[in-house]
Amino acid sequence: MSARVLNGKELATKIKGELKQTVEEIKKKGIYPGLAVVIVGNDPASRVYVNSKKKACEEIGIESFEYALDENVSEEDLIKLIKKLNNDDRVNGILVQLPLPKHINEEKIILAIDSSKDVDGFHPENVGRLMTGNPQFLPCTPAGVMELIKESGIEIAGKECVIVGRSNIVGKPQSMLLLAEHGTVTICHSRTKNLEEVVKRADILVVAVGKPEMIKGNSIKPGAVVIDVGINRLEDKKIVGDVEYESCSKVASAITPVPGGVGPMTIAMLMKNTVKAAIAQAE
């Protein structure tokens, strides 16, 4: 048996096409969505992500404003920039690409972003709203995962959902979204005992740990839905996920490829949040 491929690239293209139409419509009413993208330092992976986000803005008709800051910028100056963007009417969404250099406190930076412009959904107000079931902006990667699962007609209610990884960006918010759809959710991490046993129970498995090809075919339940959030560049430049695609695709019922799975969906969800922010701010 070969698993169904959950094609994120295709779905993201469809969503971006719909957003493009929405943007054309709202521009007629004088709403011009804008996204500020802030990048600090020269991390090559962050540069690739930021360029993809800017390109998506262009495709859809969202204006993007890039702020590329020196690696050594002070926390104070970064906060000053964010405050300026909070008060800039052309900017509906603010994204500060993570990770930030070690001398900058990420939590302070996220707190400085106006929660109504927090299109990443990282501000504590938005995290809290997600947790209490009244979200304003869904975090982009977990939201993209949900869209992929739902679009494929996969039922979540009552299923054993196992997430490997407990980050604020993916693991934790992913658990809330699966729970909201009535999944039975377990989060695993580096201290989890019997990780293999828990992973093997999963009807829906989401892996977001940043360890190349950590999950093998013989670790998963036959027929599982496998969502691979990892993007790892090997020494030979090949990009692989946290899941060994070759072996897992023979055991799973559905699987996301890397690249072309969750990655493009993250960007589509960012665009969706930015359009939503622009509409909300015009009201």
What does the alpha-carbon distance between residue 174 and residue 81 come to, in Å, rounded to a whole number?
Answer: 30
Q: Is 251 in the site for ligand GUN (CB under 6 A)?
A: no
Query: CB atoms < 10 A from the CB of 107, how many?
Result: 11
User: Which listed range, 27-35, 90-98, 144-152, 255-263, lies at the site for ligand GUN (CB under 6 A)?
Assistant: 90-98
What does the alpha-carbon distance between residue 271 and residue 56 come to, in Å, rounded to a whole number?
Answer: 7
What does the alpha-carbon distance between residue 147 and residue 19 come to, in Å, rounded to a whole number?
Answer: 15
Work out how close the CB of 251 gets to ligand GUN at its nearest, in angstroms, rounded to a whole number.
28
**Among 15, 85, 100, 140, which residue sits at the site for ligand GUN (rule: CB under 6 A)?**
140
User: Which listed range, 24-32, 89-97, 197-205, 250-258, lies at the site for ligand GUN (CB under 6 A)?
Assistant: 89-97
Between vectors from CA 136 to CA 130 and to CA 141, what angle results, nearest 5°?
65
Q: Write out the two tokens for 235.
A: 């020494």
What does the alpha-carbon distance between residue 83 and residue 78 come to, in Å, rounded to a whole number?
Answer: 9
Question: Which residues are annotated as catalytic?
Answer: 53, 97, 120
Q: Is 231 annotated as a binding residue?
A: yes
Instruction: Tell me if the bond preceding 222 is cis, omega within 30° of 0.
Output: no
Q: Write out the two tokens for 112.
A: 């400085």
Q: Is 265 in the site for ligand GUN (CB under 6 A)?
A: no
Q: Is 17 annotated as a binding residue?
A: no
What does the alpha-carbon distance between residue 193 and residue 165 come to, in Å, rounded to a whole number?
Answer: 14
For residues 62-81, which are near ligand GUN according to CB under 6 A? none
**Among 109, 169, 204, 205, which residue sits at the site for ligand GUN (rule: CB under 6 A)?**
169
**Among 11, 95, 224, 262, which residue sits at the site for ligand GUN (rule: CB under 6 A)?**
95
Q: Is 96 in the site for ligand GUN (CB under 6 A)?
A: yes
For residues 25-64, which are near ligand GUN according to CB under 6 A? none
What does the alpha-carbon distance between residue 80 and residue 250 come to, in Å, rounded to a whole number?
Answer: 52
Q: Is 128 annotated as a binding residue?
A: no
The binding site comprises 165-167, 231
Which residues would be at the binding site for ligand GUN (CB under 6 A)?
95-98, 120, 140-141, 169, 266
